[in-house]
């Protein structure tokens, strides 16, 4: 459950892992102490073009011995708003900086060596300063959606005393060239969503139906695109707040399971999809309907990925006095209360943060894992102690941070990034192995 301003949580993405490449240069220790020629400073990248959930090795070379410089990451979101994060670093005796091995001086904008630290720390900027976010707000860097652009760019710079020494652009892909996209509408398809279909491979792959939580809209589209780029047909489904004229409601109120089942059946017919292995991936409030689908319709849904989950059905959201129930089946309300998972055909994987301030998702994940599926196997959970509510989707990006007092960013942001990296790997394994 999230409170989100105009830039909704959902997604944005990229990475910086540091690594290889040696600087040229030789000579003895006297040469090493000479200041660098500014023309020789460079940012080395092993994969200038890579998927947005893929590591990118970045190293800075050609600096002077023990030079003190500022390294920055910057990008522009889909609304044209610049985002930026910078840290101060000291080169080694050979004039090199390895972001994977070295933390920024002073612990800002992050406290320990982290190749993705600058990306996770990016904030919207206004002129020269950071626009402060109000207490309790959730916010996120969102590049153009995969439906708009198949990739986005990120710029890395190195400066010293205000003078730029080096810069490098890298491209983060949502979709490979062979993945197809098409828009689905209520008017034409009876569902609102973005379909991403990879070319059929040697074997059919598990298709994935992706949807978000109380933020509404189509917040799962970045994740769906990346899943398709990795071989899984994926549909990002919007079930409420889908925009004017969409034909979808503006509240989580009597949202029928039939809508999701219709989407699942459309997805299961995509080329390369194995409908017997279909999985649903829901976040926050969306975790409720994801579990209900697995429990009530095991012939359609095999596995369930529940991010920041609830173990119970909650009441309607933004429905006003006319609200009846959040979810329905055949037009009849599904009562609030605990969600049983004993009819689920596959596995429910619950992923939560132990420092979730929105609701007790870690406790809910444990309750989910304490249940068994129709074959008697236990469901699975992983709770990341320092992470908050934003553990969902893929790594190396910034799906969301929460504003604290006086606009400060909550301390969970770094742990959220780590949780997304580990959690995404577990999700891909479940989809590939089905265990």
Domain boundary among 173, 195, 222: 173
Tokens of 154: 């990120």
Among the options 232, 297, 389, 390, which is catalytic? 389
- Taking only the tens place, the pLDDT of each residue in 343-374 is 999 999 999 999 998 999 999 999 999 999 99
Domain edge (last residue) among 173, 199, 219: 173
The whole domain housing 167 covers 17-173
**Of residues 53, 55, 356, 416, which has the active-site annotation?**
356
pLDDT band of residue 411 (cuts 50, 70, 90) is low
- The pLDDT assigned to 31 comes to 34
Alpha helices in 231-321 (DSSP H): 257-268, 285-296
Looking at the fold, whether 164 and 119 belong to one and the same domain comes out as: yes
232 labelled catalytic: no
DSSP assignments along 100-140, one per residue = TT-PPGGG-S-SS--TTHHHHH-EEEETTEEPPPPTT-EE-
Q: How long is the chain?
A: 435
Least confident of 61-65, 191-195, 404-408: 404-408
Domain contains 11: no
142 pLDDT band, cuts 50/70/90, is: confident
pTM for the model = 0.86
Catalytic residue flag (residue 167) = no
Q: What is the pLDDT of residue 201?
A: 87
Shared-domain flag, residues 58 and 162: yes
Q: What are phi and psi of 321, to 5 degrees?
A: -65, -15
In sequence order, the 6+-apart residues with CB closer than 8 A to the CB of 227 are 196, 208, 210, 234, 431
- Do 205 and 348 belong to one domain? yes
Which residue among the candidates 140, 219, 284, 287 is catalytic per the annotation? 284
389 assigned to active site: yes
Q: Which of 157, 173, 189 marks a domain boundary?
A: 173
**378 backbone dihedrals φ, ψ, rounded to 5°:** -70, 145
């Amino acid at each position: 459950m999230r409170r989100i301003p105009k830039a909704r949580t959902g997604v944005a993405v990229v990475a910086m892992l540091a690594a290889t490449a040696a600087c040229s240069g030789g000579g003895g220790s006297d040469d090493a102490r000479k200041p660098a020629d500014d023309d020789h400073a460079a940012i080395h990248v092993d994969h200038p073009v890579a998927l947005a959930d893929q590591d990118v090795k970045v190293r800075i070379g050609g600096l002077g011995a023990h030079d003190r410089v500022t390294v920055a990451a910057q990008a522009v979101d889909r609304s044209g708003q610049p985002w930026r994060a910078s840290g101060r670093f000291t080169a080694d005796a050979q004039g090199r900086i390895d972001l994977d091995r070295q933390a920024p001086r002073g612990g800002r904008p992050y406290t320990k060596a982290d190749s993705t630290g600058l990306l996770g720390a990016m904030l919207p900027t206004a002129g020269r300063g950071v626009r402060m976010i109000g207490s309790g707000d959730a916010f996120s860097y969102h590049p153009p959606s995969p439906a708009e652009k198949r990739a986005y760019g990120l710029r890395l710079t190195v400066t010293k005393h205000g003078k730029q020494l080096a810069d490098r652009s890298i491209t983060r892909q949502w979709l490979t060239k062979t993945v197809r996209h098409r828009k689905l509408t209520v008017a034409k398809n009876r569902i609102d969503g973005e379909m991403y279909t990879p070319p059929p491979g040697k074997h059919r792959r598990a298709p994935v139906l992706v949807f978000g939580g109380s933020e509404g809209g189509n917040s799962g589209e970045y994740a769906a695109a990346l899943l398709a780029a990795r071989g899984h047909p994926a549909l990002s489904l919007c079930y409420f707040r889908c925009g004017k004229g969409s034909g979808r409601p503006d509240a989580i109120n009597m949202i029928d399971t039939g809508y999701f089942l219709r989407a699942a059946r459309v997805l299961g017919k995509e080329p390369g999809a194995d409908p017997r292995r279909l999985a649903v991936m829901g976040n926050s409030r969306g975790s409720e309907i994801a579990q209900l689908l697995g429990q009530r319709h095991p012939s359609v849904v095999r596995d369930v990925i529940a991010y920041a989950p609830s173990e119970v059905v909650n009441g309607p959201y933004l429905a006003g006095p006319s609200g009846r129930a959040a979810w329905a089946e055949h037009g009849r309300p599904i009562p609030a209360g605990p969600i049983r998972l004993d009819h689920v055909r596959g596995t429910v994987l619950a992923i939560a943060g132990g420092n979730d301030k929105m609701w007790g998702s870690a406790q809910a994940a444990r309750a989910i894992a304490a249940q068994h599926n129709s074959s008697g196997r236990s469901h699975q959970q992983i709770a990341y102690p320092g992470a908050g509510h934003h553990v969902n989707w893929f790594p190396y990006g910034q799906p969301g941070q929460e504003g604290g007092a006086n606009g400060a960013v909550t301390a969970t942001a770094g742990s959220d990034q780590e949780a997304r990296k580990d959690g995404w790997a577990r999700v891909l394994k479940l989809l590939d192995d089905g265990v």
